[in-house]
């Protein structure tokens, strides 16, 4: 793909993610829940958009590592609802409620394409390092702190206060939350880094 065409395509994808993230936050603000900006998927949309527009695949992949498995769970539950007209895990139930707005549904559909489109964009930019999971961990900790300090428990943002899926390890819930999200993030990074598209590309400027 020619460099100019690639740049135009990346800009389109980046602006798309950024606009979608802004719409998601604006919709939450309109519904008097601006704190929902702390949803990892909403933050992910904004950061992925920024990462694409600034041509920093590190930022993109840090979000992909966090979101891949949670979004897969949502997608499976969503498709199960579509096919069988009943929930499997219950995480997509809100989408099918009568009171859920059209804008909310449009934003929620990002679950279906965010990961493949983000990986594609990161591949176009080029992967220069595979340790973006380090930033993923830092972001997870910061978001957890912000949610517990500023978000009402009844919203249960990012399932911080109560489990969205019945998972028990015989440990206090918050410890289970950290163990689960750190594990799925790191496992995702290991598996995705095996893909050919994730091959690290050396900077031509550093080549002799």
Band of the pLDDT at 99, cuts 50, 70, 90?
confident
Q: In Å, how far are 65, 163, 175 from 114, measured between CA atoms?
A: 12, 23, 28
Residue 75 contacts residue 145 (beta carbons within 8 Å)? no
* Whole-number Å distance between alpha carbons of 111 and 174: 25
Question: What pLDDT shows up at residue 202?
Answer: 66
**38-84 tens-digit pLDDT:** 999 999 999 999 999 999 999 999 999 999 999 999 999 999 999 99
Instruction: Tell me: pLDDT of 110 over 70.
Output: yes
Instruction: Tell me: pLDDT of 161 over 60.
Output: yes
Torsions phi, psi of 127, nearest 5?
-90, 125
- Is 0.85 surpassed by the pTM of this model? yes
Instruction: Tell me: pLDDT of 121 over 80.
Output: yes
Give strand pairing partners of 200.
127
**Mean pLDDT across 81-90:** 91
Residue 96's Cβ-count burial label (10 Å; 0-12, 13-18, 19+) is middle
For the chain, give the longest Cα–Cα distance. Answer: 62
Give CA 86 to chain center in angstroms.
25
Q: How many CA atoms lie within 13 A of 95 on its CB side?
A: 21
């Amino acid at each position: 793909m020619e460099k100019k065409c690639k740049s135009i395509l990346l800009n389109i994808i980046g602006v798309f993610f950024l606009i979608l993230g802004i719409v998601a936050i604006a919709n939450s603000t309109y519904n008097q829940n601006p704190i929902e900006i702390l949803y990892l998927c909403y933050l992910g949309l904004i950061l992925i958009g920024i990462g694409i527009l600034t041509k920093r695949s590190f930022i993109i992949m840090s979000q992909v590592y966090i979101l891949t498995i949670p979004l897969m769970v949502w997608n499976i539950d969503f498709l199960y609802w579509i096919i069988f007209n009943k929930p499997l895990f219950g995480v997509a139930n809100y989408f099918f409620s009568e009171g859920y707005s059209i804008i909310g549904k449009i934003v929620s559909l990002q679950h279906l394409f965010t990961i493949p489109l983000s990986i594609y964009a990161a591949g176009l930019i080029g992967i220069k390092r595979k340790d973006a999971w380090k930033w993923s961990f830092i972001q997870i900790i910061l978001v957890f702190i912000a949610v517990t300090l500023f978000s009402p428990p009844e919203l249960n943002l990012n399932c911080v206060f109560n489990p969205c899926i019945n998972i028990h390890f015989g440990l206090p819930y918050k410890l289970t939350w950290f163990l689960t999200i750190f594990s799925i993030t790191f496992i995702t990074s290991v598996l995705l880094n095996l893909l050919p598209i994730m091959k690290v590309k050396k900077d031509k400027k550093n080549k002799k």
